[in-house]
Amino acid sequence: MRILVVAATEEEIKPLISELRITHYDLENEDGSKIINRKSDSINFGPNTSILLSGVGMVATAFALGRHLTANKYDLVVNLGIAGSFTRDIAIGDVLEVSSDALAELGAEDGDGFLSIEQLGFGEGTYYPTIKLADLYNLFNTFNLKTAGAITVNTVHGDENSIKKVTERLKPQLESMEGAAFFYACKEMNVPCLQIRAVSNYVEKRDRGSWNIGLAIKNLNTFAIEFLKLYA
């Protein structure tokens, strides 16, 4: 079983990299993305787990992942990262399985309204995983993660008016800068994929003092390590 883990930054999955006993990058690409192939003899993981550090944002993610998948085949691709939550029903530190992800800004303004790419007739802007955790563990619910709908943005929301508009239009639960682009690239390359996010903050007027990135990274990597022990 060949598994590719995709993350925007090394910081988000540093505990996983340490657990996998990775000590070097096998390849650093000109665009700044990095591919890591584990070559240790750790007994906890299969030998075919690789990590792609794509860089931040949907453009970097789609390009780095699309290029890598052109030359490499995997049985499963997993996107790991942190996210903001639009709802207080989700606690900071919660780890969630993303059930859908939309390119929130892809479309056209129409006065005070917004026309999606679908409404314009130019394609689609919402993407989905092609596999679910439940499909992998159909005999028992190992992780019991909640699912959440997400949006992907170029500009992280931090203004009350823009937050109100996007929540009314799309009713998202999570926000990231890569998720929908990840799903898009995997769909185009016809590879099984899923996305897991841990909540580091609430989507509100920017207040880094209320964020807990450390907790989100800790919980995300705890999941990732246990997941790979079972499945890789």
- Are the C-beta atoms of residues 152 and 101 closer than 8 Å to each other? yes
Residue indicated by tokens 């898009």: 184
Structure confidence at residue 154 (pLDDT): 92
Instruction: State the amino acid at position 104 in one-letter form.
Output: A
Coil, helix or strand at residue 203: coil
| d(C-alpha 60, C-alpha 230), whole Å | 30
Structure confidence at residue 186 (pLDDT): 97
Q: What is the mean pLDDT of each run of 10 residues along the chain (232 residues)?
A: 91 89 55 52 56 92 92 93 96 97 91 87 93 73 86 91 93 97 96 97 89 96 90 68
| d(C-alpha 200, C-alpha 190), whole Å | 31
Neighbour-count burial of 133, counting CB atoms closer than 10 A to its CB (0-12 exposed, 13-18 middle, 19+ buried) = buried
Q: How many Å separate Cα 58 from the centre of its chain?
A: 10
- Are the C-beta atoms of residues 137 and 223 closer than 8 Å to each other? no
CATH architecture for segment(s) 3-231: 3-Layer(aba) Sandwich (3.40)
Structure confidence at residue 17 (pLDDT): 87
Tokens of 65: 């992942």
Domain assignments of the chain as residue spans, ordered by start? 3-231
| d(C-alpha 228, C-alpha 53), whole Å | 17
Cα dist from 30 to 6, 13, 24, 38, 181, whole Å: 17, 22, 17, 21, 20
Structure confidence at residue 117 (pLDDT): 87
- Are the C-beta atoms of residues 153 and 107 closer than 8 Å to each other? no
Structure confidence at residue 49 (pLDDT): 82
Question: What is this structure's pTM?
Answer: 0.88
Structure confidence at residue 47 (pLDDT): 55
Structure confidence at residue 27 (pLDDT): 47
| d(C-alpha 25, C-alpha 38), whole Å | 9
Q: How many Å separate Cα 75 from the centre of its chain?
A: 17
